[in-house]
Amino acid sequence: LNPLLNVNKIEERLKAVQFFYDNRRLLEETREFLSNVYDIERLSNKISMATANARDIVSLAGSLKTIEELKAKFEKHIPDILEKLVLKLDNFADIVEWVEKCLIETPPNTIKEGGLIRQGYNCELDEVKAVALNGKDWLIDLQKKEIEKTGISSLKVGFNRVFGYYIEVTNAKLNAVPGNYIRKQTLTNAERFITPELKEWESKIIGAEERAKNLEYEIFCELRNKIGSEIKRLKETATAIAEIDVLSCLAENAIISGYSRPVLNDGNKISIIQGRHPVLEKVLKHKEFVPNDISIDTDDNRIFIITGSNMAGKSTFIRQTALIVIMAQIGSFVPAQKAEIGIIDRIFTRVGASDRLYKGMSTFMVEMLETANILNNATDKSLIILDEVGRGTSTFDGVSIAWAVVEYIYRKLLGAKALFATHYHELTELSQIMRGVKNFHLAVQEWNDEIVFLYKIKEGSSDESFGIHVAKLAGMPQFVVKRAREILNNLQKDSFMGNIRLRFSEKESHLEKVSQLDFFETSKNDHPVLKKILDIDVNSLTPLDALKKIAELKTELKEETG
């Protein structure tokens, strides 16, 4: 991606998008016309490489006619950038005329089997075709004449590529075959013959057909080469059409998706009101996307440490910010109520997790390489997006690296703006010692021992990650969820190892004890078997169904308790 860095050039594009946005009728007509235009650049390349067939040439001519009609739709009072593009749309009446005079309306895919050229375009071709056509008429007359002469009603004249033309007679009528017939081929149920007269006409017909095919191919190649000499004109028009297509498409998307026009400047601030993720909001068909605000600059709001629960929306928030900046700098309207974007020279991202096993690189190594690239190449005008840096190693190592990365951005990359999503709550302490580092979190609400994701960005740090709640939502076995809660409590009390040793002593294995879960101690909101029992409609069960259901539940409990 190479978004523009010049505010004036971006504004030119935005004016063109605004023009289409305000002139809905013209936008609709433009999109309709463009839907009938083939990829002119691709067709031009095929022509220049002599790989275009007759259908490609006809498609090109049709597209050039459509472009001429589209030009007429644009009036004089249009933005400068659109006016320049319309002026680049050449008049191709000459090429259209060449094609329409030469080729039939719907030619075949192949160019060496004939059937391409219009009648009347080439006198020699018309004469050769007439010979071939007359020869075929003679064959029809020959079949009628031979049937009358021999009295064989099933006699027929045919052709194949191996033996040429032949007279076919079924075995039942072989006794009626005249003496001048020469046997050519024997079939299961018939014999095929030729005559001297038939062979003579075969030479004429096949010769004429081959000559016609060769002539058509030569004429087509001449036409293709002639159009090929106009490639420069075609490619300039193709580029202009592509730009008009993009600008009108951006306007159409802005209308459909409810985007607004961003304000761009050479300042250092990014301010987005009610911003949305342009892709995710379209994916959430039955759920409304929750918009968020952000205001980040190079002074008091420079580095955001974003904490919060898994699935709360941290990654979505930081990615949507980057996408909105990119969209604004390509000259597009953006998914936000309002957006002010200070020009960004580069956007660096370290998101997701992947390895490169074929190069012997672990997930953590890839993560470190990407982070190093960011720190070595970012400038004071860059936007840095970091998602969970340091998670691929031990907790202490991870926190240390993440902390040092933030410090480096703060001290060395003066002016660079950064969004850092993390589960390391220790990083929130940086806001107390570094001016410009701010803590934010994605709000989560606890209700009835469950969590509700609000997907709303709030100032301040998150209290916890709610990882065990998310594990439960994912369908983790009840034992794992309960045991994880116990271990978490021990960790929070700094007594983890002592408790672990005690619980796994020889006298009593805690694992065995916990696996024998007291059924009635489990909350009805948690235990899946109890939920299934509560959901049973006893009035609709037959005695046999009830026994089957009890057996299923018993099996499930046995599996759970080991």
CATH number, domain containing residue 394: 3.40.50.300
Span 391-405, pLDDT tens digits: 777 778 888 999 999
Indicate if 465 and 487 belong to the same structural domain.
Answer: no
- Compute the average pLDDT of residues 491-506: 50
Q: What pLDDT, on the 0 to 100 scale, is given for residue 410? A: 92
Is 396 domain-assigned? Answer: yes
Q: Is 522 exposed, middle or buried (0-12, 13-18, 19+ CB in 10 A)?
A: middle
* Residues 251 and 356 both lie in one domain: no
What are the structure tokens assigned to 463, written together? 């209290």
Q: Which of 204-213, 259-268, 301-310 has the lowest mean pLDDT?
A: 204-213
Cβ partners under 8 Å of residue 127, min gap 6: none
Are both 145 and 197 inside the same structural domain?
yes
Say if strands 182-186 and 156-160 run parallel, antiparallel, or are unpaired.
unpaired
Establish if 307 belongs to a structural domain. yes
Segment 422-426 mean pLDDT: 86
Give the tokens for residue 399.
């926190």
Which pLDDT belongs to residue 513?
44
Four-point Cα dihedral 117, 123, 124, 126, nearest 10: 60
Statement to judge: residues 331 and 422 lie in one domain: yes
Sheet arrangement for strand 450-459: 347-350, 383-387, 417-421, 303-308, 437-447, 450-459
Q: Are 110 and 220 in contact (CB under 8 A)?
A: no
Same domain flag for 158 and 290: no
The pair of structure tokens assigned to 288 is 């409304």
3-state secondary structure at position 88: coil
Containing H/E element for 243?
helix 231-257
What CATH number corresponds to the domain at position 163? 1.10.1420.10
**Considering only 49-58, 99-108, 123-132, which range has the smallest mean pLDDT?**
123-132
- Asked if 246 and 308 sit in the same domain, the reply is no
Please give the pLDDT value at position 265.
Answer: 96
What is the span of the domain harbouring residue 384?
259-469
**Does 481 lie in the same domain as 461?**
no
Q: How far apart are CA 221 and CA 219, in angstroms?
A: 6
Mean pLDDT of 38-60: 96
Number of domains in the chain: 4
Last residue of a domain, one of 413, 439, 469: 469
Report the chain's mean pLDDT, rounded to a whole number: 86
Amino acid at 271: S
CA 457 – CA 515 distance, rounded (Å) = 40
Amino acid identity of 29?
A: E
Tokens of 7: 């505010």
Q: What does the pLDDT look like over 331-385, one tens digit per residue? A: 999 999 999 999 999 999 998 766 555 565 778 888 889 999 999 999 999 999 9
* pLDDT tens-digit series, residues 294-329: 999 988 899 999 998 778 889 999 999 999 999 999
For residue 105, tell me if it sits in a domain: no
Residue 492's pLDDT band, with cuts at 50, 70 and 90, is: low
For 236-270, letters b (16+ CB in 10 Å) and e give: ebbebbbbbebbbbbbbbbeeeebebbebeeebeb
Q: Are residues 330 and 455 in the same domain?
A: yes
Which pLDDT does position 519 carry in this prediction? 43
Q: Domain for residue 221, yes or no?
A: no
Joined tokens for residue 178: 């005249």
Which pLDDT does position 312 carry in this prediction? 83
Q: Could you tell me which residue, 224 or 415, shows the higher pLDDT?
A: 224
Task: Provide the percentage of residues in the chain whose pLDDT is more than 70.
Answer: 89
The predicted model gives 464-487 an average pLDDT of 75
The DSSP code sequence of 36-53 is T---HHHHHHHHHTT---
Rounded-to-integer distance, Cα 226 and Cα 269, Å? 55
Rounded CA gap, 168 and 496, in Å?
Answer: 97
Rg (CA), the chain: 39
Residue ending a domain, choose from 433, 452, 469: 469
* pLDDT, mean of residues 63-90: 90
Distance CA 268, CA 342 (A): 5
Cα–Cα distances in Å, from 5 out to 187, 201, 230, 244? 78, 74, 34, 21
- Please say whether the dihedral angle defined by the alpha carbons of residues 173, 174, 180 and 181, taken in this order, is positive or negative: positive
Top mean pLDDT of 191-195, 251-255, 496-500 is at 251-255
In this structure, are 288 and 419 located in the same domain? yes
Least confident of 3-17, 158-172, 370-384, 515-529: 515-529
Provide the pLDDT for residue 357. 54
Helix or strand run (H / E) with residue 539: none
Tell me whether residue 438 is in a domain: yes
pLDDT at site 461: 84
Q: Which tokens belong to 1? A: 């991606």
* Residues facing 441 on adjacent strands: 307, 458
Domain assignment present for residue 111? The answer is no
Tokens of 148: 């009358």
In a domain, 458, yes or no: yes
pLDDT bracket for residue 507 (50, 70, 90)? very low
Read off the pLDDT of each residue in 458-463 and give the average, rounded to a whole number: 83
Give yes or no: residues 362 and 243 share one domain: no
Residues 484 and 509 in one domain: yes
Domain-located, residue 360: yes
Strands (E), 333-484: 338-342, 347-350, 383-387, 417-421, 437-447, 450-459
Residues with Cβ within 8 Å of 213's Cβ and at least 6 positions away in sequence, in order, are: 112, 113, 114
Query: Do residues 443 and 408 share a domain?
Result: yes
